[in-house]
Chains A and B, each alone.
Chain A
Amino acid sequence: MTVSKFSSTLDSLLARLHWAVWVGLGALLLLPFVFSSRYLVYLGTLLVLQASLATSLNLIIGVAGQFALSHAAFYGIGAYASALLIESAGLGFWGSLLPMLAIVAVFSAAIGYPALRYTGGIHFALITFACGELLRLLAANWDDLTGGPQGKRLPYSPAPLLGIDFSDAKGLYLLAIAVLVISVGVVAAIRHSRFGRALVAIREDEILAASLGIAVTRHKLAAYVLTSMLAALAGSVYAPFAGFISPDLMSAGESVALVGVLIVGGIGTLSGPLIGTLIFFAIPELLRIAKFYRLVILGAVIVASVLFMPEGIVGFFSKQWQALRRRAKGG
């Protein structure tokens, strides 16, 4: 085989590998339907929601390059806001979505705008961390509204739509998948858009981006608000799924774990958050490792990733693949 023939074969093989990853992920999604096990459906829903969170977090961290630590807080806000709208305002699940998203948009804009005026990720990281914790404390202490630190039982489920019954576990699993699809879709669309290119430019060099006409703060803010809204959307599905919400959902530790997922899977890639979630949650869960040791392993993976594979697992392979492709083309 001549060099060039080998190269082009390698190239097309690598191109197909990319598709294989997505097909594999898609197949995993179908497992709960195939095996009809209550446990798998439960685990699947949880994982899919976590994967949505990781994907939407990737928008602000991976694409825009801004380290936000408030993601879990907005997950919780989405759950609480939608629960409160349904119970107190008498809206149905579907009716509560838009108002809930509007509330979250306002909150995140209020936090994001002053926080993003400064260059340098540390300020933004600290402010989002602090605001997230503050929101959690609010939820824990405003007993009348939120049921306090013990949390709140939620007896509702979404009304049937398109013939699907959402009071059933499988129905909620489908809803979770919908949220995942929306999150992935939004991030994918942005990455290929003018807005996405501007975010990447901001991530790489803010000052240069500004000199080329990109309104830096406005773009960062838009990314942050969008990210937070997607987190809240996942939260609104978590509420009927779990039947119970508490301020623990919103803890900074959860936000940190999500960052860990992104690092492990690969910041900035589309499949990275999904694979990271799998590794982070599914594998230990399936191996039935005791909770504490699981987190120790995950922490070790984070440390190892940062030191040896800064682009994360998917990012690492993606880079190798791209380098190989470039060599293959040149060869």
Chain B
Amino acid sequence: MLLDIVQTAFDGLMVGGLYASVALGITLVFGLMGILNFAHGQMVMLGAYIAFYAVASGLGFWVGTALAMLAMGLFGALLERAIFRRTLVDPMAGLTVSLGLIMIIENLAAAWFTPDPRFMEPPLSGDFRLGPLALSSQRLLVLLLAAALITAFYLFLKRTRLGKAIRAMAQSRQGASLVGVKVTRVSAAIFMIGSALAGAAGALYASLFAISPFMGNTPLMKGFILAAFGGLGSVPGAIVAGALLGLAESFGSRYLSAAFRDGYGFMLLILTLLLMPNGLFGARKGRI
């Protein structure tokens, strides 16, 4: 029984870590630019395919993951420059344009990669034994990598100059530009980093699950749930929310109904938005 619980918790944290990696990009972009980027999920999908093809062509998992991050980072910067920068005036326009982007990316991928699910060879196999506990090695690796990415990101925000600029912008866009923060450059950086993280999440995802051109929507929704739950714009919020959601899904699937897995997240989102509209750590929002 206890083993079962530990196993389920471990699974939940791992999945939560993946979700959080995706959510970080969403929550920052929304917090700093007011744009709800629905196309973020596509970064995960593309990252997954890049990793898949890297492994299939012999470059290996690590190269694949690095490529995924690099490629998605560049793609994110490109999107910000070409498209999202022009929608800053109207957040709803940003949302809408991202809906259009989903359709383009998703369906181009479906046309090029075919809609059939693909399976990637994971770098590790077998179990990692810790006493009576047998944890899948690959899942453990994913958990560790996700945690590493998140920690690295957190340190980046706290310690580096760019990270401080980002935090300044999160507090006040105008204030930040007044003290010399180059707002447009920081915005581009956020898109880049968020997309790179999502790309990495995609590669990690590919090592565990089947990938398809339409797989971006689930992590996207989970990302929104986390961002809303943790407080739009809050990085610690997204992380804590990720852990909580992962655990909720894991335990819910194990002990209640597995088919309804995604439903737990939606219910959490709805409850959060209604009862805690500012999320766990978010800023105050007005209402009439």
The chain A residues found within 8 Å of chain B, CB to CB, are 67, 114-115, 117-123, 125-127, 129-131, 133-134, 137-138, 140-141, 206-207, 210, 216-217, 252-253, 256-257, 259-260, 263, 290, 292-293, 295-296, 298-303, 305-307, 310
From 88 to 118 in chain B, residues with beta carbon under 8 angstroms from any chain A beta carbon are 90-93, 95-97, 99-108, 110-111
Chain B residue at minimum C-beta to C-beta distance from A264? B100
Q: How far is the CB of B107 from chain A (nearest CB, A)?
A: 4
Q: How far is the CB of B222 from chain A (nearest CB, A)?
A: 11
- How many angstroms between the C-alpha atoms of A114 and B108 in the bound complex? 38
Instruction: Select the residue from A133, A138, A299 with max chain B CB neighbours within 10 A.
Output: A299
Q: State which of B104, B110, B270, B287 has its C-beta within 8 Å of the C-beta of A117.
A: B287
Q: Are A256 and B83 in contact (CB under 8 A)?
A: no
The yes or no answer to B132 lying at the interface (CB within 8 A) is: no
Q: State which of A131, A253, A301 has its C-beta within 8 Å of the C-beta of B217.
A: A253
Instruction: Select the residue from B92, B103, B224 with max chain A CB neighbours within 10 A.
Output: B103
Q: State which of B86, B87, B90, B224 has its C-beta within 8 Å of the C-beta of A126.
A: B224
Q: Are B102 and A256 in contact (CB under 8 A)?
A: yes
Q: Are A123 and B83 in contact (CB under 8 A)?
A: no
Contacts A127-B269, A216-B288, A290-B111 known; list 5 others, CB within 8 Å.
Answer: A118-B287, A119-B287, A137-B260, A259-B99, A299-B101
Q: Are B104 and A296 in contact (CB under 8 A)?
A: yes
Chain B residue at minimum C-beta to C-beta distance from A118? B287
From 215 to 242 in chain B, residues with beta carbon under 8 angstroms from any chain A beta carbon are 217, 221, 224-225, 228, 232
The yes or no answer to B121 lying at the interface (CB within 8 A) is: no
Interface string of B192-230 (1 = CB under 8 A from A): 000000000000000000000000010001001100100
- How many angstroms between the C-alpha atoms of A93 and B216 in the bound complex? 39
Chain B residue at minimum C-beta to C-beta distance from A303? B100
Which chain A positions have C-beta within 8 A of B175? none
Which chain A positions have C-beta within 8 A of B93? 306, 310
Q: Are A306 and B287 in contact (CB under 8 A)?
A: no
Q: Are B92 and A67 in contact (CB under 8 A)?
A: yes
Which chain A positions have C-beta within 8 A of B287? 117-119
Given A134-B266, A292-B110, A303-B83, A119 and B288 contact (CB-CB distance below 8 Å): yes
Q: Are B270 and A295 in contact (CB under 8 A)?
A: no
The chain B residues found within 8 Å of chain A, CB to CB, are 36, 38, 83, 86-87, 90-93, 95-97, 99-108, 110-111, 217, 221, 224-225, 228, 232, 257, 259-260, 262-263, 266-267, 269-270, 273-274, 277, 285-288
Q: How far is the CB of B208 from chain A (nearest CB, A)?
A: 22
Q: Are A127 and B99 in contact (CB under 8 A)?
A: no
10 A-B pairs whose Cβ atoms sit less than 8 Å apart in the complex: A114-B274, A118-B287, A119-B287, A121-B92, A122-B232, A127-B270, A130-B270, A131-B266, A296-B111, A299-B104
- How many angstroms between the C-alpha atoms of A293 and B111 in the bound complex? 7
Q: State which of B99, B107, B108, B111 has its C-beta within 8 Å of the C-beta of A256.
A: B99
Q: State which of A117, A137, A306, A310 has its C-beta within 8 Å of the C-beta of B100.
A: A306
Q: How far is the CB of A262 from chain B (nearest CB, A)?
A: 9
Q: State which of B99, B217, B232, B270 has its C-beta within 8 Å of the C-beta of A302.
A: B99
Which chain B positions have C-beta within 8 A of A131? 266, 270
Q: Are B263 and A137 in contact (CB under 8 A)?
A: yes
Q: Are A306 and B97 in contact (CB under 8 A)?
A: yes
Q: How far is the CB of B169 from chain A (nearest CB, A)?
A: 19
- How many angstroms between the C-alpha atoms of A126 and B260 in the bound complex? 19
Q: State which of B104, B105, B259, B266 has its C-beta within 8 Å of the C-beta of A130.
A: B266
Given A119-B286, A130-B266, A125 and B95 contact (CB-CB distance below 8 Å): yes
- How many angstroms between the C-alpha atoms of A293 and B287 in the bound complex? 43
A-B pairs, 6 with minimum CB distance: A299-B103, A302-B100, A299-B104, A303-B100, A295-B107, A292-B111
Chain A residue at minimum C-beta to C-beta distance from B108? A296
Q: How far is the CB of B117 from chain A (nearest CB, A)?
A: 16
Q: How far is the CB of A132 from chain B (nearest CB, A)?
A: 9
Q: Are A260 and B288 in contact (CB under 8 A)?
A: no
Given A118-B287, A121-B92, A253-B217, A303 and B110 contact (CB-CB distance below 8 Å): no
Q: Are B96 and A122 in contact (CB under 8 A)?
A: no
- How many angstroms between the C-alpha atoms of A114 and B275 in the bound complex? 10
- How many angstroms between the C-alpha atoms of A206 and B95 in the bound complex? 21
Given A130-B270, A133-B262, A259 and B288 contact (CB-CB distance below 8 Å): no
Q: Are B101 and A125 in contact (CB under 8 A)?
A: no
- How many angstroms between the C-alpha atoms of A307 and B79 in the bound complex? 13
Chain A residue at minimum C-beta to C-beta distance from B257? A141
- How many angstroms between the C-alpha atoms of A299 and B228 in the bound complex? 26
Which chain A positions have C-beta within 8 A of B221? 129-130, 133
- How many angstroms between the C-alpha atoms of A14 and B107 in the bound complex? 39
Which chain B positions have C-beta within 8 A of A119? 286-288
Given A131-B270, A263-B96, A292-B110, A207 and B288 contact (CB-CB distance below 8 Å): yes
Q: Are A303 and B101 in contact (CB under 8 A)?
A: yes
Q: Are B95 and A260 in contact (CB under 8 A)?
A: no
Which chain B positions have C-beta within 8 A of A141? 257, 259-260, 263
Q: Are B83 and A126 in contact (CB under 8 A)?
A: no
Q: Are B285 and A120 in contact (CB under 8 A)?
A: yes
Q: Are B103 and A295 in contact (CB under 8 A)?
A: yes
Which chain A positions have C-beta within 8 A of B111? 290, 292-293, 296
- How many angstroms between the C-alpha atoms of A305 and B76 in the bound complex? 21
Q: Are B274 and A127 in contact (CB under 8 A)?
A: yes
Given A253-B217, A307-B83, A134 and B270 contact (CB-CB distance below 8 Å): yes
Which chain B positions have C-beta within 8 A of A117? 287
Which chain A positions have C-beta within 8 A of B106? 295
Q: How far is the CB of B47 from chain A (nearest CB, A)?
A: 20
